[in-house]
Amino acid sequence: MSKRPPNLFASILGLWSRDAAVLRREGLPFFLRVVANPLLTVFVFTYVLPRSGQQIPVAAGVTSFATVLVPGLVAVAMMFTAISAVALPLSIELGATREIEDRVLAPNPLATVPFAKICFGAFQGILSGALVFPILLILPATEVTVRVASWPMLVTMLLLASWTGAALGLFLGTAIRPQQIGLMFAIVLTPMVFLGCVYYPWASLSAIPWLQKVVLMNPLVYMAEGLRIALTPDVPHMSPLATILMLLLLAMTLSALGVRGFIRRVVD
């Protein structure tokens, strides 16, 4: 009698349910991790500075610096959360305890495990982006002009940005040894934020042509610019086609590299 083939969808649901249980248990740390950076940034740049009489110059036609910040901080929250949701647990599971073995030994294709991690990390990224909006719309002392100019563009950006962040987390989690995972934030993530067009639109870098070209290697640039198209269309931004195509390319490339690195680590 032949064995019944494994139910792939049920296996993925099982992997997600385990991760969801961990997320529920760490709900408060997850919430604090998501809101800490946006809360401090919005508080300083859009509340403290305006209240103290200091103004940050913005582009013509833009109501306030808070308007420029909205898409960038949503993108940062999504990227940080998606990367951390995949890379940090993976570094533990691939470490000395080898906790990952109970999942890779299941009768399913080996690639199922990393793809399930990317999907769940992307979900957490979208959730974190949603948690940022109350801060950005309530706390600023200056007017924030945010409107959904294009729902299809917003949905596309949320999906692509969160998937790209989770795929980057998978790649970093398999490429960096567990003992060095802390360096990821100092060497990789911090430069990505400051050079990711979070605090300024990409078009404003035209005054520094070489830097405007260099930052195009940063996935966060396309996340922030794509969200500007959807949420703050009055702020200068890239073309929608460029942001979608580049994020799609980055998502596919990072997913392939991450899955290959995952398989190499668990087989070794």
Within a domain: 2: no
Range of the domain at 15: 8-267
- Closest to 219 measured CA to CA, from 261, 180, 191: 191
- How far apart are alpha carbons 255 and 257 in whole angstroms? 6
Give 175-204 pLDDT, tens digit per residue.
Answer: 887 777 777 777 888 889 899 998 888 988
* Residue 98 falls in which region: left (phi positive, over 0), alpha (psi -120 to 50) or beta: left
pLDDT tens-digit readout, 136-163: 777 776 777 778 888 999 999 999 999 9
- Give the number of residues written for the chain: 268
Q: How far apart are CA 14 and CA 116, in angstroms?
A: 10
Residue 16 maps to a domain: yes
> Is residue 66 a part of any domain in this protein?
yes
CA of residue 28 relative to chain centroid, distance = 19
Alpha-carbon gap, residue 84 to 146, rounded angstroms = 28
Q: Is 143 left (phi over 0), alpha (psi -120 to 50) or beta?
A: beta
Residue 236 near residue 204 (C-beta atoms within 8 A): yes
Contact 93, 265 (CB under 8 A): no
Q: What percent of the chain has pLDDT over 90?
A: 28
- Contacts (Cβ under 8 Å, ≥6 apart) of 141: 46, 47, 50, 51
Task: Please determine, for residue 165, whether its predicted confidence score (pLDDT) is greater than 70.
Answer: yes
CA-CA distance, 257 to 238, in Å (whole number)? Answer: 27
Give one DSSP letter per residue of 153-198, joined into a string.
Answer: HHHHHHHHHHHHHHHHHHHHHHHS-GGGTTHIIIIIIHHHHHTTTS
pTM: 0.84
Per-residue model confidence as pLDDT tens digits over 227-257 = 999 998 888 889 999 999 999 999 999 999 9
- Looking at the 3D structure of the chain, how many domains does it have? 1
What pLDDT is recorded for position 1?
Answer: 41
